[in-house]
Amino acid sequence: MRNVFRRRIVFILFASVAIWMFLWYTHGLVNKLNESNRKDCETIAWLWAGVQYPLSVAGDELGIMSCTQCGYPGKRYESGVESEFMYCPVCGDTTLFIRTARLLPQERTEVIDFTRRLFGNLVNRLEFPTIFADANNNPQIVNGQVVDDFPSDRIMEFRKKMEILAAQNEPIPVIARGDTIGHLFYGSSPLYTEMKLIPFLELALLLLIAAVVFLFLRAEISRDKDLSWVGFARETAHQISTPLSSLMGWIELLKDDSELSQNSDLKDALVHMNTDVNRLKSIAQRYGQMGRKPNLKPMSVETTVSNVVDYFNARKGLLGSGVVLELVQSTDEHIINGNSVLIGWVVENLVKNAVASCAGIPGGGKVTVSCEIGDSPAGEIEIRVSDNGKGIPFGDQGRVFQAGFTTRKGGWGLGLPLARRIVEEYHNGAIRLLSSTPGVGTVFSILLPLKGRGKD
């Protein structure tokens, strides 16, 4: 079982590393997408800034010097110089520049309007919001639409939108001839917003898978332990059955002996021996049926509890020195759907623990078993086993029903966990530690639903 558990742990670790690597990869993709958005905006800003320079000099009355190869505007016209050779950064060579006539105001207006429409159409193709503002932060183009004729209230809305976009991404300055002529504000695309959530969704999925795997492993380990106990119990029953059959045979032979039958003390001993052997037989059958759903039928709780108490009182050796076992119950009978052998074993287990707790108590210990109708409106009968023994340390009281936990030297720690299973899983009841104080005593309670009330 350990090897299987280790292999599963290795698999879980490997899967966790793989998922974390995928998280890192997707997080990188989100960052790359955001960087791509920024580069797109920078490209647009550079384009807009690039056209501002020729537009700014296009209306110069004296004209400009333009490259004869590509039309690049080199500088303003200087009086008397109609042409000259200069370096053209576009052509990458020295070319001839000549004087170019200025545009008329109407022509310049048409060029500017055309450029703005071209810029607007370009920005409008983007999937994220954009606002181009001048150097005074006055909105000029919003999502590709020129806002010159917009009312003042709409302009105020755009200003507020600019503040929101600036909080999302740093505005990109638009620089022409060394001067900042405006800024391009931009937001995040819907795709980026969705992808930004992917790492968090993957992390939540990872935690959910880890929780499910943890619960599955814990349940499987618990099931493996249960199967181990079941196998041990069945093997114990098998080993007991052989000598038990032999003992039953010897008792029958002794009963048939006429000389022994005349001895009253021996006759009493044979009766008690026969009772003990039958009890061992029921115990062997009980352990042999571990792991199987028991057969439930109407049974008297008072009769079952009384049989357990009578069995202990008839054998003083089971109670130890000075321990008194007392039964407190009404003469009425309360019927439940249950298995009398299993319920009797649960009560017997609690009585044994109480007797062991009372060992060595000055003046003798006392164990009380009582049957009363519970206060629950569901209709339950309560069996209480209390003692004035040494009690359970406060730090251990939350562990008494854990498999393998015991405060007795040589104990296995299986009695109370099995008792809980019998009461809660097989009989739809409840068993709990009501109270325990070191040096004062302990009280255990069993609640069982009455027949026709609660869950049958």
Q: What is the pLDDT of residue 251?
A: 73
Residue 370 pLDDT: 93
Specify burial of residue 280 (Cβ count, 10 A radius: 0-12, 13-18, 19+).
middle
Instruction: Round to whole Å and give the CA distance between 369 and 383.
Output: 7
Report the SS3 class of residue 444: strand
Q: What pLDDT is attached to residue 51?
A: 60
The predicted structure's pLDDT at residue 17 = 78
Overall pTM surpassing 0.75 (yes/no): no
Run means of pLDDT, 10 residues per run, the chain, 456 residues: 62 73 76 75 66 53 78 77 88 88 62 70 72 84 78 88 86 74 78 70 76 75 62 63 70 70 72 76 65 80 92 80 86 87 89 87 86 73 92 85 70 76 89 91 93 57
Strand 83-88 versus strand 93-100 pairing type: antiparallel
What's the CA gap between 373 and 433, in Å, rounded?
18
pLDDT in the model for residue 429: 92
Q: Angle at Cα 127 formed by Cα 126 and Cα 128, nearest 5°?
A: 95
Identify the pLDDT of residue 456: 45
Kindly give, in sequence order, each residue whose CB lies less than 8 Å from that of residue 385, ignoring residues fewer than 6 positions away: 347, 350, 351, 354, 367, 368, 369, 443, 444, 446
Rounding to the nearest 10 degrees, give the CA dihedral for residues 399, 405, 407, 409: 180
Q: Which CATH superfamily is domain 293-449 in?
A: Histidine kinase-like ATPase, C-terminal domain (3.30.565.10)
Contact call for residues 290 and 230 (beta carbons, < 8 A):
yes
Q: What gap in Å lies between CA 431 and CA 416, rounded to an integer?
A: 9
Confidence at residue 280, expressed as pLDDT on a 0 to 100 scale? 74
* Residue of 431, 6, 374 whose CA lies nearest to 217: 6
